[in-house]
């Protein structure tokens, strides 16, 4: 009887070990199926992302359709066409289906749209191109702008009673990035192309740089302190 009990105990231990091994194998397969590079969770998230991209693409295309039905569209230049489109898309971003999206004119023939979730699209007369999603490209971080690497230059630099021309110099601008400036606030950004005129004492110029997905980090600034338009005081001769 004692020998029989030992055999039964041995079989039980072996069965337990085999069961544990099988469970571990199944757990490993399940984890790989759910969370691997091509796992169910990843594929589900990718599917949701693609669905959102196509949803926004369709909405943006609708605004292109609105532009297409404008009178005289065939006679418009690319710039005139995109001027009309920009108004359509900005109106939609303010109070339509694309509400809270950011819109900017990249160049004469391109309008960029960035959705609240960070999906970036470039729109031309020919169509809508999906550029990418902000934050996904770790190899293309936004440049860190500061007064140490980006400068606002005033010409003339000495006192004047007229105006100054403002230019921007930076050590960190690279191809594919966009230098922008805003006057007296950080809300109304414009692309910097050439020196621009400032006529008022105390005007502050803010500068930032966008990467290829319109992400930015930090700002530099400069203040105009060399304009004096007040007439000189003349002492009365008694």
Dihedral of the CA atoms 61, 103, 77, 124 (nearest 10)?
Answer: -50
pLDDT of residue 46: 82
Question: Tens digits of per-residue pLDDT, 135-180?
Answer: 887 778 899 999 999 999 999 999 999 999 999 999 999 988 999 9
**What is residue 194's predicted lDDT score, i.e. its pLDDT?**
95
Q: Using 50, 70 and 90 to split pLDDT, how confident is the model at 217? A: very high
How sure is the predictor about 22, in pLDDT bands with cuts at 50, 70 and 90?
confident
For residue 57, pLDDT beyond 90: yes
Given the DSSP bridges, would you call strands 102-107 and 190-191 parallel, antiparallel or unpaired?
A: unpaired
Average pLDDT of the chain to the nearest whole number: 86
Token reading at 196 = 């621009």
Asked if residue 213 has pLDDT above 90, the reply is yes
Q: How far apart are CA 125 and CA 174, in angstroms?
A: 27
Residue 72: per-residue pLDDT: 67
pLDDT of residue 21: 80
CA 124 to chain centre: 18
Checking if the pLDDT of 38 tops 80, the result is no
The pLDDT of residue 117: 93
| pLDDT tens by residue, 68-115 | 776 667 778 888 889 989 998 999 999 899 999 999 999 999 999 999
């Amino acid at each position: 009887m004692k020998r029989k009990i030992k055999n039964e105990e041995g079989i039980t231990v072996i069965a337990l070990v085999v069961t544990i091994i099988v469970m571990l194998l199944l757990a490993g397969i399940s984890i790989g199926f759910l969370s691997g590079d091509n796992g169910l969770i990843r594929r589900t998230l990718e599917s949701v992302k693609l669905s959102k991209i196509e949803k926004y693409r369709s909405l943006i295309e609708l605004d292109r359709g609105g532009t297409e039905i404008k009178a005289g569209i065939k006679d418009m230049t690319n710039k005139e066409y995109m001027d009309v489109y920009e108004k359509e898309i900005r109106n939609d971003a303010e109070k339509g289906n694309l509400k809270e999206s950011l819109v900017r004119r990249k160049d004469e023939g391109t309008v960029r749209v960035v959705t609240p979730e960070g999906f970036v699209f470039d729109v031309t007369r020919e169509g809508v191109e999906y550029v990418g999603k902000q934050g996904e490209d770790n190899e293309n971080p936004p440049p860190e702008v500061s007064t140490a690497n980006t400068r606002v230059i005033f010409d003339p630099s000495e006192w004047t009673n007229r105006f100054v021309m403002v230019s921007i110099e930076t050590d960190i601008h690279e191809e594919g990035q966009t230098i922008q400036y805003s006057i007296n606030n950080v809300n109304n950004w414009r692309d910097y192309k050439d020196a621009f005129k400032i006529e008022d004492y105390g005007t502050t110029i803010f500068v930032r740089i966008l990467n290829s997905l319109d992400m930015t980090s930090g700002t530099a600034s400069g203040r105009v302190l060399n304009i004096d338009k007040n007439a000189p005081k003349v002492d009365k001769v008694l």
